Chains A and B, each alone.
Chain A
């Protein structure tokens, strides 16, 4: 136990206010303001991988690491679509995930939003027009915003979330 505390003390708080990610910090604060205004301080996200190569998920997971710590801006990932305001979908929508994606969306209470994250989800990736893919999230669901990148970096994801809040 002593070593755990020692490590925590040594490392301190790495969550970034430092210069290198001032951009992230600035965006995050703005995002928090919008979430406070429009969602009473809490926006719940349900993430669905609809045929991703899995790298989009790795970067979305990174939003929870101590450098980005998305939750401090009032955004958090939830397990149940019933609790979600926002569907964050990745991948070119493999036909085998099509119905699961639709059902997840249908299970969300209104009002609800959909973000297609990553080039694949936006219909621009390496997997478009194959027999096994619908081609883009917008081919299956009404999409409010597309976030580019292969995969989008945590910063790009945050920028995207902010754009949606300001829309």
Chain B
């Protein structure tokens, strides 16, 4: 950690001291964050000061510790991360909610409630979230007394009776959509209230693809953790595996060799480009511009074939291993990738002007689904969603993890916050990633691609922080006996981008929902866990 880090911390600490909020620094902070213990009574007061001092809310999760429930929350300022934690007895697991101050905390608190039984006292919305009907209200799958394999194989009923918000009024009608959608996409439920064509209210109900990933992680070794992480959200296999790997490597004190780091970044940027290509095409398709769908589908396919040829998997699954990467890249591989970059740059340079100048595309995408900067800030939006609304945060620059701190990246930024801005943002991010890949390939050093690492000590923990193509991924891992995982919580950026959809759809027409949704492209799997 460089000297210039956490320059804002003394001011925050003195502010908290003045407010009689007693903190104790945790010697076992999950690196690279600093961590402070807080009294449970003070938990609900804390976010007021954090927000006042300009801290962005970045995550909240809980774990069982020696028969007590520990709750952890993470905030970020200027690229530095701070974790606060407190403990409550399992017999009375109550504490204050952060949601009134940080609305982004709401779904995470409800998730913690469903899985661990925490009660957030003054929460503005305490309905169940991840839990449907697969377990009872008083059962909590992440508690130690809940069997990992569950309660037998009796059929699970549908989750009827979820208390959706209601909009009343003459001529207001309700449209339920999902969980099974019309296309080949993930399942979830959307409840619209509309007046004529205009959306008055939208509420998302997710949790349908909840697989119990956090419980399945328990007892895994490092390699098993990375395999699972790659499947948290399959479109972000590299980013999630990298975040888990960082947490593991920071905990066991391993230094990934330079070549391994560069190859990881190469894989991550290839993943970003593949997703941007596919989604730009799909967004155009949602408004009937199939030309772009075919063209970008073609470019994505070529990109994936190269992944298969050089890295052994079209979507780069399991290309990361503890301590480095699984496969080396030879000279011919480097040349092929460089040629790909040139070819792709040429292709997109001929395609983007067609998109930009298409009158019908402009009509549909400009002004649709506007997310204002202050709304994005309030919700804690991340990645291209935030950057298309004028929030200039990029983990690769502002947190500066290896190897990105040694690259010079372009950082596109847009202000309009509409669907068109999100498309443009992603188009420009393709160029930025091509530039990054070029630098990585030019500087790829010789040497090993992985180190072996010793298993982490019981009780130790670490954080992973990676800029996936959707934005900041934050992964927490704690290790138990034999260096096996005792807690894994991956916080996908979708936790904060999904709620944006409910906000930006207001006043848009129902037929624009698909394109608005696609322009955010939250991961269902990534939040359902």
Contacts and interface: CB of A to CB of B under 8 A. Distances in A.
Interface of A: 3-4, 7-8, 11, 14, 47-62, 64-67, 77, 79, 91-92, 94-100, 102-104, 125-127, 129-134, 139, 150-151, 153
B233 interface: yes
B307 to A, nearest CB: 11
A54 to B, nearest CB: 5
Contacts of A99: 155-158
B298 A67 contact: yes
Contacts of B158: 99-100, 103
B230 to A, nearest CB: 8
Contacts of A77: 183-184
Contacts of A64: 297
Contacts of A151: 234, 315
Given A94-B209, A130-B215, A65 B294 contact: yes
Contacts of B208: 51, 94, 96-97, 100
A4 B354 contact: yes
Contacts of A54: 186, 233-235, 523-525
Contacts of A56: 234
Nearest to B187: A49
Given A97-B179, A131-B146, A132-B150, A55 B237 contact: yes
A8 to B, nearest CB: 7
Contacts of B155: 98-99, 102
5 contacts: A11-B298, A54-B525, A62-B304, A94-B208, A132-B211
Q: Which of B187, B291, B294, B295 has the most CB of A within 10 A?
A: B187
A125 B216 CA distance: 12
Interface of B: 132-135, 141, 146-151, 153, 155-159, 179-180, 182-187, 207-213, 215-216, 227-228, 231-235, 237, 278, 291, 294-295, 297-298, 300-301, 304, 308, 314-315, 317, 350-351, 353-354, 357, 523-525, 528
Contacts of A62: 297, 300-301, 304
A50 to B, nearest CB: 8
Contact of B148 (A58, A96, A125, A131): A131
Given A54-B523, A95-B134, A126-B231, A66 B298 contact: yes
A130 B141 CA distance: 10
A95 B133 CA distance: 8
Contacts of B187: 48-50, 97, 100
Contact of A55 (B134, B317, B353): B317
A103 B149 CA distance: 25
